[in-house]
């Protein structure tokens, strides 16, 4: 399965200590050039920059064959490049959190999963405790509607019964 990641899911998974779940689901995670730059930016949290300084073997920087389509200009550069790369390589999935990027990817027939979906799947695979992971995520600047958190926690509690 080929997946392409935008910056924010990688960032948050590193910050909450669960980046290791990605290779459980995806053997390779491709990132475009600007996502790589964002992971190393001086404004990126130290923990994320340290992780990016020694990237795991499953994380692969991948060049774009063509510049992003101008119709994607309403998105930030990392999102534009991630969607473009996903289309170029025929990715099975895009890992992205931002609503506009997710909607645009879906409009272009690219399947999308975000940080919450990855955490949910990891909990289902018994790789992590969802209440703990969500609590850690809420301690970052990740925005999620409280109703969605409640729903995920309720679903997780039912699954464990």
Per-residue pLDDT tens over the stretch 37-76: 999 999 999 999 999 999 999 999 999 999 999 999 999 9
pTM score? 0.95
Determine the topology of domain 2-116 in CATH.
Answer: Rossmann fold (3.40.50)
Cβ–Cβ < 8 Å for 45, 140: no
Closest CA to 148 of 115, 111, 102, 106: 115
Residue 137 predicted with pLDDT over 90:
yes
Per-residue pLDDT tens over the stretch 84-107: 999 999 999 999 999 999 999 999
């Amino acid at each position: 399965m080929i997946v392409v990641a935008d910056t924010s899911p990688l960032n948050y998974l590193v910050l909450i200590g669960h980046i290791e779940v990605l290779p459980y689901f995806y053997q390779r995670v491709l990132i475009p050039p600007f996502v790589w730059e964002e992971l190393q930016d001086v404004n990126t949290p130290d923990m994320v920059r340290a992780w990016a300084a020694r990237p795991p073997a499953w994380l692969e920087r991948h060049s774009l064959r063509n510049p992003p389509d101008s119709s994607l200009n309403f998105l930030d550069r990392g999102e534009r490049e991630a969607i473009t790369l996903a289309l170029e390589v025929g990715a099975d999935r895009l890992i992205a959190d931002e609503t506009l990027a997710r909607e645009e990817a879906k409009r272009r027939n690219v399947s999308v999963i975000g940080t919450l979906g990855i955490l949910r799947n990891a909990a289902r695979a018994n790789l992590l405790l969802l209440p703990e992971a969500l609590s850690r995520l809420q301690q970052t600047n990740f925005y999620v509607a409280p109703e969605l958190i409640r729903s995920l926690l309720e679903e997780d509690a039912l699954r464990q019964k």
